[in-house]
Amino acid sequence: MITVTDRSAVLALATGIRILAIGIPAIIAVLGVETTDLADSFSQILHLPDRFVYGGLAGMRLFSVLRDDWAALTASRRSRGLGDENKVKAFFPQTFALLVLSIRRSTTLATAMEARGFGGDIPRTHARVSHVHTRDWAFVIVCAIVPTVSLIAAAIAGTFVFFGG
């Protein structure tokens, strides 16, 4: 059994506020970012490996293709009379089929990336030059201040709990 006390309710509220304080700026940042610009920035400013960065960009762009593949697999299974009676039972075979299809597509994508010089020793050039602007620094600072202020407010309110000690 679980016993709910005033202390546990306050702790739950403080944890929820912390999650919102960290989560809301992260969600706003992710929703407003152009994935190509983000990949260019990771590659040019942070000097992350091009293979990793542009592979991640390709993966983000393929989410819509993944959704379309799921719909096509569902339609093809239904046309063969599979998966109509139990959606939960049909989920796992369809997921496996989608995984196999995704692996085939990623192999083709990896071959195309190798053909375009992603595995070479010569530094790649970039079509778009990425710059860090003042508004970018301001956004990062605001995103750091919001959770910091909420954590300080939680500590002042006496709901800050140290785990393990």
Cα–Cα distance for residue pair 84/77, rounded to 1 Å: 9
The residue assigned the tokens 């009379």 is 81
Cα–Cα distance for residue pair 13/134, rounded to 1 Å: 35
- What is the structure's pLDDT at 80? 83
Q: Which segment, 43-47, 50-54, 107-111, is predicted with the most confidence on average?
A: 43-47
- What is the structure's pLDDT at 141? 92
- What is the structure's pLDDT at 15? 84
Contact 44, 124 (CB under 8 A): no
Could you write out the DSSP letters of every residue in 48-106? Answer: --HHHHHHHHHHHHTHHHHHHHHHHHHHHHHHTT-SSS-HHHHHHHHHHHHHHHHHHHH
Per-residue pLDDT at 160 exceeds 70: no
Per-residue pLDDT at 19 exceeds 60: yes
Per-residue pLDDT at 78 exceeds 70: yes
In the structure encoding, which two tokens stand for residue 117, read together? 């010089």
Per-residue pLDDT at 165 exceeds 60: no
Per-residue pLDDT at 22 exceeds 80: no
Q: How far is CA 138 from CA 10, 17, 41, 42, in A?
A: 33, 23, 17, 18
Per-residue pLDDT at 50 exceeds 50: yes
Write the pLDDT tens digit of every residue in 79-137.
887 766 777 878 888 899 888 988 888 888 878 877 777 767 777 777 788 888 899 88
As a whole number, the mean pLDDT across the chain is 80
